[in-house]
Amino acid sequence: NPLQVLVNAIINSGPREDSTRIGRAGTVRRQAVDVSPLRRVNQALYLLCTGARDSAFKSVKTIAECLADELINAAKGSSTSFAIKRKDELERVAKSNR
């Protein structure tokens, strides 16, 4: 089902945890924070679109094909997906800033 693939891709590529800048007395440090549900969806869509755009740039494949590949890989949870890689990186950085 194509709609289920889209939903799974958005669920899998939305980061659960992020880090934000906390400035205190001139020093800036990063603090791990939970991500709200709306921001998770928005960030997932942004990462999916960015991954498709980057892979289509200077490529033989059209952006539609690249977007389809990105969505399918993200729905599977495959590490070849740009969105999944970025999500894992964001969560790893947040974990180190707990």
What confidence tens digit (pLDDT) does each residue in 78-90 have?
889 999 999 999 9
Considering the chain, what percentage of its residues have pLDDT values greater than 90? 53
Q: How confident is the model at residue 23 (pLDDT cuts 50, 70, 90)?
A: confident
Query: In the chain, how many domains are there?
Result: 1
At which residue do the structure tokens 């194509």 appear?
Answer: 2
The strand ranges marked E within the chain are 17-24, 27-34
The 10 Å Cβ neighbour count of residue 82 is: 21
What CATH number does the domain containing 42 carry?
1.10.455.10
Task: Tell me which residue range forms the domain holding 71.
Answer: 2-96
Cα–Cα nearest to 93, from 15, 41, 38: 15
Considering the chain, what percentage of its residues have pLDDT values greater than 70? 99
What residues contact 72, with CB distance under 8 A and at least 6 apart?
Answer: 5, 9
